[in-house]
């Protein structure tokens, strides 16, 4: 404090203090006290710096500062601020004293100030004196989690959280993976897990670390985040090399019982590379991560990851209601109803429910809600919040797909199907191969495997989901589909590049502004009757018209589509005329005409499609396929459920198709089946066959059929089934089991047949159903088995090794399934209905699957079965008595 008034003040104070005493004392000693405060504070700051240095040095060695020290350090900081404030006002205080002099009216203010200074001096001295510590740190004690801020209401995750928590707390869980699509609430779930550790200590967990990893995996970033949590992220740490950090972290972490939460990983995180000890049962440590990719779970060594799924409809409604609010929802009964529809459009995706819910909170008129539904249903990308908050989040998953465009193209292809449609994987594979996404030159098997691989990739990335009850189908989540549509339209810049109006009730082909830019068009599942346009579409490759009511297509329509590769017209039941211009589709590779009742024969124009690879004529009224051999590029030909009973040249035609790989077909006569025996190419491409042979007392002979997958036999009057096995030219013994891929066999009303011993040659059989066949005595007949199998085979083959489902129904003569007990390691359903002569099952006490949840269940149709069944032994009876249920 310098300047002119100091001198004057000194004079004045001397004067003042010589006249008055007592209370005025504070004012008199003000200057001295102030100086003392400043001095003591300096000493205190210096002491603090010393203590802090000591603390930090020892902390970097893994120690933890004592609370006592921490409290003191904070108190120094506080007092420093107070002193600073006090000193700030001293100039004003002195000025006041100087001006006012002895007019003691205002002396009380100065007095108060003086008193504060005096008190402060004592306090600073006090803190200073307390700042002497023998030890400043101790061994680390329980430090748990740092709270993650969460929304006040989280709806719908309670059950999931409980399950995840339970799994995590299981002593056997070291690493745990949570996977699911973008926006499904994985991060929230992980944050909730984190916050649970705040409430109480668990099992001696010392530290819980939450790290957001995200797509740019940087090991050092994770290391720094952990170091920060450990309180060792000092400047010194930051200067360390990555390798040094690994060693440092490892030494510090290996003594700790930690829980590491890694949010949003996109590739494998190598714990060793970071410096994290591997979590084991012994060290009790845990690592939990979230990811959008199931594959990453596998890479992290988690075989049983938990899927975070979309919300069920009740939970979705609860969440939406919480976001929109009662007032809006109850403002009009119609709004409540419309809100249910909006929730439906979100398909349980929390991200969409949250954002759309927030958006709708302020909408209180029915019109606004109706408009929202319109927008969501027709062009959801335009809905407020979609393009900014929902789609980009989902698009990360798309961006993370492998760089090559193949997988991306395949993914975008799935938008062509109607919303919420379960797409058969096999169909996708056919489309993709015909579209040329997959190079088919590498051979059929490789190409198909590659296509299935891509489906797997998309499922793992949660961009497609496998249907739970039927794993041969996949679905695209609605909001993911919106994202894909958004990308396919070049982010709405080019809406006509890919026109998708599937399942929206159209009655005619929609108006297109610029046909020239259209590449793909899907109008499936509508009510279109006439197609009469004559569009010029030089770029169009894909046209999906299935499931409409088309009766008439004008020839003009197909005239200018030189690049059309895929045309699907299936299930247009009444289409009976094909314009001859179809032959101008020179690039066409895929044509699906199944379910068109008007097709009786192959139109000449069809036979000109030289590039056609895939032709589906199932469920038509086709009577004969003469001429089909002109389609020389055909790979797949589906002919099941036709009327070709009179066509006896089928096999000849098929034999001419050099590239044939997959055929489905009905056999109507022994004449045709006999031809099959010598039609090697046809026999080895038949995948599915239905046999209806009406000639009395026929003997059916089947050749080896390498790809046969399903066989149905209905109402056939066959008395015997033989197999003509191909033999090696050397020793004349059979080379293979004839039906390596046969998995399903259905027999119905085949009166005359006595046994199905030939099934010994179908080692892949999974489903066998035999019903209403009066003569069947044995499923496998012992004498006949000896004839079909070589001696060597008879010794090694175990029948029904893969059988999962076995059912016999109304076989009055059936006496035996097999002559001795069989292991049936996969069998889950074993149904015996109305087979009154069957007493003994080929089961012993070790038969049937023992995998939990897959136990063998036996169902018997009759009430009095208990008295009839003859068990192999007591142990068998004991084993199965409990698993028998009535068949109803």
Ligand X SMILES: *[C@@H]1O[C@H](CO)[C@@H](O)[C@H](O)[C@H]1NC(C)=O
Residues near ligand X, by CB under 6 A: 96, 99-100, 106, 109, 424, 427, 430, 529-530, 532, 546, 552, 554, 570-571, 592, 594-595, 601, 604, 607-608, 616, 624, 626-627, 630, 646-647, 649, 707, 709, 741, 743, 810, 812, 834
User: Among residues 432 and 818, whose Cβ is nearest to ligand X?
Assistant: 432
Q: How far is the CB of 692 from ligand X (least distance, A)?
A: 18
Q: How far is the CB of 561 from ligand X (least distance, A)?
A: 17
1 closest CA partner among 27, 40, 33, 23 = 33
CB-based contact 343:353 (threshold 8 Å):
yes
User: How far, CA to CA in Å, does 864 sit from each of 447, 816, 836, 839, 861?
Assistant: 54, 19, 10, 12, 9
Helix 478-488 and helix 391-399, axial crossing angle in degrees, nearest 10: 80
Q: How far is the CB of 586 from ligand X (least distance, A)?
A: 13
User: Among residues 358 and 551, whose Cβ is nearest to ligand X?
Assistant: 551
Q: How far is the CB of 102 from ligand X (least distance, A)?
A: 12
Do you know the residue count of the chain?
Answer: 888
User: Among residues 23 and 203, whose Cβ is nearest to ligand X?
Assistant: 23
The residues with which 854 forms a beta bridge, in sequence order, are none
User: Among residues 348 and 595, whose Cβ is nearest to ligand X?
Assistant: 595
Q: How far is the CB of 38 from ligand X (least distance, A)?
A: 25
Q: How far is the CB of 553 from ligand X (least distance, A)?
A: 8
Residues in contact with 201: Cβ distance below 8 Å, sequence separation at least 6, in sequence order: 142, 144
User: Among residues 343 and 742, whose Cβ is nearest to ligand X?
Assistant: 742
Gyration radius (Cα) of the chain, Å: 40
Q: How far is the CB of 19 from ligand X (least distance, A)?
A: 19
User: Among residues 43 and 99, whose Cβ is nearest to ligand X?
Assistant: 99
Q: How far is the CB of 205 from ligand X (least distance, A)?
A: 48
Q: How far is the CB of 743 from ligand X (least distance, A)?
A: 6
Q: Please tell me the distance from the alpha carbon of residue 466 to that of residue 424, in angstroms, as a whole number.
A: 10
Report strand pairing: 662-667 vs 686-691: parallel
User: Among residues 107 and 499, whose Cβ is nearest to ligand X?
Assistant: 107
User: Among residues 28 and 100, whose Cβ is nearest to ligand X?
Assistant: 100
User: Among residues 91 and 424, whose Cβ is nearest to ligand X?
Assistant: 424
3-state helix, strand and coil shares in percent for the chain, rounded to the nearest 5: 40, 15, 45
433 closest CA partner among 450, 412, 456 = 450
Q: Please tell me the distance from the alpha carbon of residue 324 to that of residue 339, in angstroms, as a whole number.
A: 9
Q: How far is the CB of 295 from ligand X (least distance, A)?
A: 22
Q: How far is the CB of 427 from ligand X (least distance, A)?
A: 4
Give residue for tokens 């799924």: 309
User: Among residues 512 and 707, whose Cβ is nearest to ligand X?
Assistant: 707
User: Among residues 498 and 544, whose Cβ is nearest to ligand X?
Assistant: 544
CB-based contact 563:585 (threshold 8 Å):
no
User: Among residues 393 and 529, whose Cβ is nearest to ligand X?
Assistant: 529
Give 740-782 as a DSSP string: TT--EEEEES-BTB---GGGGG-TT--EEEEES-TT--BSS-H
The upper half-sphere exposure of residue 553, i.e. CA atoms within 13 Å in the direction of its Cβ, equals 20
177 closest CA partner among 256, 264, 253, 257 = 264
User: Among residues 645 and 845, whose Cβ is nearest to ligand X?
Assistant: 645
φ, ψ of residue 662 to 5 degrees: the values are: -130, 125
φ, ψ of residue 641 to 5 degrees: the values are: 60, 55
803 closest CA partner among 765, 845, 762 = 765
Tokens standing for 659? 């590239």
Q: How far is the CB of 558 from ligand X (least distance, A)?
A: 12
Report strand pairing: 423-424 vs 473-475: antiparallel
Q: Please tell me the distance from the alpha carbon of residue 545 to that of residue 548, in angstroms, as a whole number.
A: 7
Q: How far is the CB of 57 from ligand X (least distance, A)?
A: 50
Tokens standing for 549? 């009511």
Q: Please tell me the distance from the alpha carbon of residue 268 to that of residue 14, in angstroms, as a whole number.
A: 79
Q: Please tell me the distance from the alpha carbon of residue 215 to that of residue 660, in angstroms, as a whole number.
A: 45
User: How far, CA to CA in Å, does 399 sit from each of 178, 186, 266, 486, 706?
Assistant: 21, 19, 11, 13, 41
Beta-carbon neighbour count of residue 353 at 10 Å? 32
Q: How far is the CB of 791 from ligand X (least distance, A)?
A: 28
User: Among residues 96 and 828, whose Cβ is nearest to ligand X?
Assistant: 96
CB-based contact 406:433 (threshold 8 Å):
no
User: Among residues 616 and 698, whose Cβ is nearest to ligand X?
Assistant: 616
Q: Please tell me the distance from the alpha carbon of residue 553 to that of residue 520, in angstroms, as a whole number.
A: 19
Q: Please tell me the distance from the alpha carbon of residue 286 to that of residue 602, in angstroms, as a whole number.
A: 66
User: Among residues 223 and 546, whose Cβ is nearest to ligand X?
Assistant: 546
Let me know how many helices (H) and strands (E) the chain has, helices first: 30, 30
User: Among residues 687 and 716, whose Cβ is nearest to ligand X?
Assistant: 687
Q: How far is the CB of 787 from ligand X (least distance, A)?
A: 27
Q: How far is the CB of 813 from ligand X (least distance, A)?
A: 8
The residues with which 591 forms a beta bridge, in sequence order, are 567, 615
Q: How far is the CB of 49 from ligand X (least distance, A)?
A: 38
User: Among residues 141 and 511, whose Cβ is nearest to ligand X?
Assistant: 511
Q: How far is the CB of 377 from ligand X (least distance, A)?
A: 24
The residues with which 624 forms a beta bridge, in sequence order, are 601
83 closest CA partner among 131, 32, 117, 130 = 117
């Amino acid at each position: 404090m310098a300047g002119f008034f100091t001198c004057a003040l000194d004079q004045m104070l001397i004067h003042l203090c010589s006249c008055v005493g007592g209370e005025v004392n504070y004012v008199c000693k003000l200057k001295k006290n102030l100086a003392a405060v400043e001095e003591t504070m300096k000493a205190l700051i210096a002491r603090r710096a010393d203590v802090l240095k000591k603390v930090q040095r020892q902390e970097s060695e893994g120690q933890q500062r004592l609370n006592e020290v921490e409290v003191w350090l904070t108190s120094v900081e506080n007092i420093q601020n107070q002193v600073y404030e006090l000193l700030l006002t001293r100039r004003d205080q002195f000025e006041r004293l100087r001006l006012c002099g002895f007019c003691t009216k205002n002396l009380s203010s100065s007095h108060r100030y003086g008193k504060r200074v005096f008190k402060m001096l004592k306090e600073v001295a006090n803190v200073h004196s307390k700042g002497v510590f023998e030890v400043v740190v101790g061994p680390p004690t329980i430090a748990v989690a740092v709270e993650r801020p969460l929304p006040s209401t989280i709806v719908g995750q309670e059950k999931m959280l409980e399950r995840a928590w339970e799994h995590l707390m299981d002593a056997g869980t070291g690493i745990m993976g949570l996977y699911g699509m973008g926006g499904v609430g994985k991060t929230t779930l992980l944050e909730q897990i984190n916050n649970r550790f705040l409430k109480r200590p668990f099992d001696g967990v010392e530290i819980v670390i939450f790290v957001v990893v995200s797509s740019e995996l940087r090991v050092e970033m994770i290391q720094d985040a952990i170091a920060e949590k450990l309180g060792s992220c000092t400047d010194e740490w930051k200067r360390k090399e990555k390798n040094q950090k690994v060693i440092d972290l490892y030494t510090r972490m290996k003594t700790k019982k930690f829980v590491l939460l890694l949010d949003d990983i996109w590739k494998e995180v190598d714990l060793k590379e970071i410096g994290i000890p591997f979590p084991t049962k012994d060290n009790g440590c845990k690592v939990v991560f979230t990811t959008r990719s199931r594959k990453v779970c596998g890479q992290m060594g988690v075989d049983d990851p938990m899927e975070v799924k979309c919300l069920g409809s009740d939970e979705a409604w609860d969440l939406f209601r919480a976001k929109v609010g009662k007032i809006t929802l109850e403002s009009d009964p119609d709004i409540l109803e419309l809100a249910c529809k909006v929730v439906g459009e979100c398909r349980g995706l929390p991200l969409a429910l949250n954002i759309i819910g927030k958006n709708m909170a302020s909408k209180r008129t029915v019109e606004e809600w109706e408009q929202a539904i319109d927008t969501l249903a027709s062009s959801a990308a335009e809905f407020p919040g979609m393009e900014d908050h929902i789609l980009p989040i989902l698009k990360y998953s798309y961006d993370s797909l492998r760089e090559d465009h193949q997988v991306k193209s395949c993914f975008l292809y799935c938008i062509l199907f109607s919303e919420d449609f379960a797409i058969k994987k096999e169909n996708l594979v056919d489309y993709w191969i015909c579209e040329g996404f997959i190079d088919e030159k590498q051979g059929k098997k490789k190409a198909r495997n590659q296509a299935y691989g891509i489906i797997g990739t998309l499922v793992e990335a949660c961009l497609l989901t496998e249907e739970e009850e039927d794993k041969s189908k996949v679905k695209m989540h609605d909001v993911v589909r919106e994202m894909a549509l958004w990308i396919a339209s070049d982010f709405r810049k080019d809406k006509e590049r890919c026109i998708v109006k599937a399942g929206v009730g159209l009655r005619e082909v929609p108006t297109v502004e610029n046909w020239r830019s259209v590449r793909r068009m899907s109008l499936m599942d509508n009510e279109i009757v006439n197609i009469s346009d004559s569009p010029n579409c030089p770029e169009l490759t894909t046209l999906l018209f299935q499931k409409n009511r088309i009766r008439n297509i004008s020839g003009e329509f197909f005239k200018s589509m030189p690049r059309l590769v895929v045309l699907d017209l299936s299930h247009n039941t009444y289409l009976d005329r094909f314009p001859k211009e179809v032959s101008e589709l020179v690039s066409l590779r895929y044509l699906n005409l199944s379910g068109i009742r008007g097709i009786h024969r192959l139109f000449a124009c069809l036979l000109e499609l030289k590039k056609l690879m895939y032709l589906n004529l199932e469920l038509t009224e086709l009577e004969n396929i003469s001429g089909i051999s002109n389609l020389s590029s055909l790979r797949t030909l589906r002919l099941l459920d036709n009327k070709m009973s009179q066509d006896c040249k089928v096999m000849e035609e098929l034999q001419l198709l050099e590239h044939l790989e997959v055929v489905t077909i009905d056999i109507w006569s022994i004449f045709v089946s006999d031809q099959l025996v010598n039609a090697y190419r046809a026999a080895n491409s038949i995948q599915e066959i239905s046999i209806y042979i009406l000639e009395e007392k026929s003997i059916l002979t089947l050749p080896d059929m390498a790809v046969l997958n399903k066989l149905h036999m209905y109402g056939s009057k066959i008395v015997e089934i033989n197999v003509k096995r191909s033999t090696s030219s050397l020793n004349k013994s059979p080379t293979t089991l004839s039906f390596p891929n046969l998995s399903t066999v259905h027999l119905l009303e085949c009166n005359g047949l006595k046994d199905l011993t030939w099934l010994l040659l179908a080692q892949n059989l999974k489903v066998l159903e035999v019903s209403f066949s009066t003569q069947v005595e044995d499923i496998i007949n012992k004498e006949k088995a000896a004839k079909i199998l070589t001696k060597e085979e008879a010794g090694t083959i175990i029948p029904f090794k893969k059988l999962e489902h076995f059912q016999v129904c109304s076989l009055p003569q059936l006496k035996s399934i097999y002559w001795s007990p069989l292991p049936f390691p996969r069998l889950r359903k074993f149904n015996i209905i109305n087979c009154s002569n069957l007493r003994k099952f080929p089961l012993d006490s070790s038969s049937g699957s023992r995998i939990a949840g897959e136990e063998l269940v036996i169902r018997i149709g009759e009430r009095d079965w208990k008295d009839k069944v003859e068990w192999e032994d007591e142990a068998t009876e004991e084993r199965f008595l409990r698993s028998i249920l009535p068949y109803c």
